[in-house]
Amino acid sequence: MIRSIVSAIIVSMGLLITPCHAETDASPASSTPFRRYLATPKPTKSLVEQWKNQSRGEREAALHLKGNVANGQKVYLESCSNKCHLPHGQGSKNGEYPQIAGQLREVTIKQLADIRARNRDNPTMYRFALPNEIGGVQNIADVAAYIETLPMTLDNGKGPGNDLERGRRIHDHDCVICHGANGEGKAEQYYPLIQGQHYEYLVRQYQWIRDGRRRNAHPMMVEQIQGYTQQDIAAVMDHVSRLVPSQAKLKGSAPPAPPLSTLSPSSPSTAPKDDLL
Ligand code: HEC
């Protein structure tokens, strides 16, 4: 809690004292993201606390368990990869599916617990995240540990590349405090790794967080986004899609896949595409 208050103070101080990316922006000063952000009401401490308490029971139970990567691989191949995420977990360049390979264990646990607790609207995934599909908290801990070991790809979907300087300025000013200097995320705070993610997915998630469709989003981020134009969003996500993961993330440490015959058969998802998160 102290940490969240301190980071809230740092964020607001940072906005007040650091040179703003918007100051060199081509748009009129009165409509820069920085000014629009300052004009929006800031989230209260209780909103941030509420966010931290979402799906707390299952999340904390899974976090305290040691993830068994071998069982996680089995759960992943049976319940996640053959439905949508594919064995490599690198998603699709058009952003239909995210690159989940390399995602921080803590973040995956929170997202799964949130989806199960219906804090994050994800009609496509809801069914697959339920106990009768994935299993109990131990399986959540295991599958999250396995996903973190999957090697990431650099061949992800990138943005148009025509406004990268604006994207870098917005990112360095508004995002690094939570997602880290290179988009590597912060495990202990559940801030996702966003580096090297597919551009179209990034843009979609961001818009959905802005529009309240992802109810588990961090309230400070939701407030911040309100001041962004579509051009700002495109530019910052283009930049994020080009942040290069570390060698360790690119290499991964996943165990070799077992023979397919050891897995139970299942059918592909028939969910409508526009339901995808
Ligand atoms: C106050 C901290 C904070 C700030 C500032 C912040 N984020 Fe986030 N962001 C989060 C958290 C926490 C989540 C995960 C929310 C959840 O649990 O669903 C998230 C989620 C995301 C996601 C969705 C990731 C996924 O895999 O689905 C994207 C994309 C994202 N942030 C981009 C950004 C960008 C770009 C910026 C800067 C313009 C930014 N965020 C600023 C905390 C922050």
Q: What is the mean pLDDT of each run of 10 residues along the chain (277 residues)?
A: 52 38 36 55 64 73 93 93 88 95 96 85 81 90 97 98 97 95 96 97 92 81 88 97 98 84 48 38
Quick one: 239 exposed, middle or buried, by C-beta within 10 A (0-12, 13-18, 19+)?
buried
Cα–Cα separations (whole angstroms), residue 128 to 83, 122, 125, 254: 9, 10, 5, 22
Where do the structural domains in the chain lie, given as residue ranges? 21-255
Cα–ligand 1 centroid distance for 94 (angstroms): 20
Give the residue, by CA position, lying nearest to ligand 1 atom 20: 192
Give pLDDT, residue 222: 86
What is the best residue among 15, 156, 179 to mutate for testing ligand 1's pocket, by most ligand atoms within 8 Å of CB? 179
Cα–ligand 1 centroid distance for 241 (angstroms): 14
Q: Exposed e or buried b for every residue in 211-236, given b needs 16+ CB within 10 A?
A: eeebebbbbbbbbbbebbeeebbbbb
Give pLDDT, residue 216: 74
Give pLDDT, residue 267: 42
Distance, CA of 177 to CA of 23 (rounded, Å): 19
Give the residue, by CA position, lying nearest to ligand 1 atom 21: 192
From the CA of 228, give the closest atom in ligand 1.
38
Give the residue, by CA position, lying nearest to ligand 1 atom 9: 191
The residue type of 235 is A
Give the residue, by CA position, lying nearest to ligand 1 atom 2: 178
CATH of domain 21-255: 1.10.760.10
From the CA of 175, give the closest atom in ligand 1.
37
Q: Exposed e or buried b for every residue in 135-172, given b needs 16+ CB within 10 A?
A: bebbbbbbbbbbbbbbbbbeebbbbeeebeebbbbbbe
What is the best residue among 198, 201, 218 to mutate for testing ligand 1's pocket, by most ligand atoms within 8 Å of CB? 218
Give pLDDT, residue 128: 84
Give the binding-site residues of ligand 1, using a 6 Å CB cut-off.
Answer: 98, 110, 120, 170, 174-175, 177-179, 190-192, 194, 202, 205-206, 214, 216-218, 220-221, 224, 236, 240
Cα–ligand 1 centroid distance for 269 (angstroms): 27
Give pLDDT, residue 84: 86
What is the best residue among 172, 178, 201 to mutate for testing ligand 1's pocket, by most ligand atoms within 8 Å of CB? 178
Distance, CA of 91 to CA of 150 (rounded, Å): 12
Which residues lie across from 186 on neighbouring strands? 191
Do 159 and 199 form a contact (C-beta atoms < 8 A)? yes
Cα atoms found within 13 Å of the Cα of residue 150, Cβ hemisphere only: 27
Do 196 and 244 form a contact (C-beta atoms < 8 A)? yes
